[in-house]
Amino acid sequence: MRDVAIIGQGMTKFGELWERSLRQLVTEAGLAAVKDAGVPGDRIDAMYVGSMSAGRFVGQEHVGALVVDEAGLAHHHIPSTRIEAADASGGVALRQGYLAVASGDADVVVVGGVEKMTDVIDQEQTNTLATVLDQEWEAFFGATFPSVYALMAQRHAHKYGTTAAQLAAVSVKNHEHGAMNPNAAYPFAITKDAVLKSPMVADPLRMLDCAANLDGAAAVVLCAADKVAEFTRKDRAVKILASHQASDTLAMHDRASITELAATKHAAKRAYERARLTPADIDVAEVHDAFTIAEILAIEDLGFYAKGSGGAAAEKGLTSWKGEKPVNTSGGLKARGHPPGATGVAQAAEIVQQLRGEAGKRQVADAEIGLAHNVGGSGGTAVVTIFGRMK
């Protein structure tokens, strides 16, 4: 396999983007990434796009052809593939793009992720999000996306004593980070008290424990590491050191434990092995905080903190951008926003900015190694990607 680098990144601001359509969003992000990379259109060999549910949200399938067409590249007849893996769609798309370049099939690949959620009413958003669960055994009986994570939070609290205040600390920290990210949907700080007093969604998860339903797109440009110099300076390239994906049972009740995501653990283990790194080597991480409990599970399952101690780590501020293990410097899914298909790609875009030293106010000093962790549904899919600065 060849070495692969990211040479460009771009994203739209995330938010309730009432005036813009799915195609406008993905094209805006794609053009920004291509411009950042300095890649001319005729050098793009393939495209991948992550989209969780364009069919239900905007009635548009065949998103692969759509993005090539909107990019003005239809007459180049390059392959373009839409990837669906619930809210890990973006992360899986990134991995497919990586494999295409690593295999030698393509030299330059554009990977996008997009979701346009706000064209449907709230109930339809909730119903569509529940399609990431097991329809026959979970959603049919009334389970919603927040409710399954609430069960994980309940169990985590029961087993390890994780408190509502510890959950709230995750949200407060991610908003503090989001306030420094111009592309964040919610670029403002919130207090612990505000989280603890926000309306209950699914006990113990309150409104401000949950990532909101939003619109947005992100894109990155991948390039064979030995061809980077043709397009950009080496110090603007970020190498993908490892990318692994793992699966688990679709329904949560079939798992041996619900205080961990086994898919995350497996993907992380293999990614660390491939990159010859350990959790201690990670300088900055973007993890999948669809709910505050999800970030606590993630920092444990990724090996940053021992099982059961994630809540305490969050509360002590260890995962702040100024802390020992900066997590979700972008604001995470909570404050940057979570348009499902876009999230995995936006995470990569954040890590690229951090490793390039272009993350502005939220820059983590001397970040050399970064990690992105993207989860589909309640953990049926997880992708872990490790990035390093080009030496």
Q: Which residues bind other proteins (CB under 8 A)?
A: 16, 18-19, 118, 121-122, 198-200
Closer Cβ to other proteins, 163 or 198, answer by number: 198
77 vs 199, beta carbon nearer other proteins:
199
Q: Tell the smallest beta-carbon distance from residue 122 to other proteins (Å).
A: 4
Task: Give 51-89 as a DSSP string.
Answer: -S-HHHHTS---HHHHHHHHTT-GGGT--EEEE-BTBTH
* Rounded Cα gap, residues 215 and 342, in angstroms: 9
* Nearest distance in Å: CB 126, other proteins: 10
Q: Which is nearer to other proteins, 213 or 264 (CB)?
A: 213
Who's near 238: CB < 8 A, 6+ residues apart?
5, 6, 351, 352, 355, 356, 370, 387, 388, 389, 390
DSSP conformation letters of 17-57: -TT--HHHHHHHHHHHHHHHHT--GGG--EEEEE-S-HHHH
Shortest Å, Cβ 185 to other proteins: 12
**Whose Cβ is closer to other proteins: residue 30's or residue 216's?**
216
Q: How far is 63 from 82, CA to CA, in rounded Å?
A: 6
Q: How far is the CB of 18 from other proteins (least distance, A)?
A: 4
Return the biggest CA–CA distance within the chain.
59
Return the number of other C-beta atoms located less than 10 Å from residue 160's C-beta: 19
If the CB atoms of residues 19 and 366 are measured against other proteins, the closer one turns out to be: 19
Q: Output the smallest distance, CB 291 to other proteins, in A.
A: 18
Does the N-terminal peptide bond of residue 182 adopt cis geometry, omega within 30 degrees of 0? no
Q: Which residues contact 19 (CB under 8 A, 6 or more apart)?
A: none
Query: Shortest approach of other proteins to residue 124 CB, angstroms?
Result: 9
Identity (one letter) of the amino acid at 113? G
- Burial class, 275, CB count within 10 angstroms (exposed 0-12 / middle 13-18 / buried 19+): buried
Nearer to other proteins, 42 or 203 (CB): 203
**Minimum Å distance from CB 104 to other proteins?**
47
CB–CB of 205/167 below 8 Å? yes
* DSSP H or E run through 244: strand 238-247
Q: Of 118 and 232, which has the nearer Cβ to other proteins? A: 118
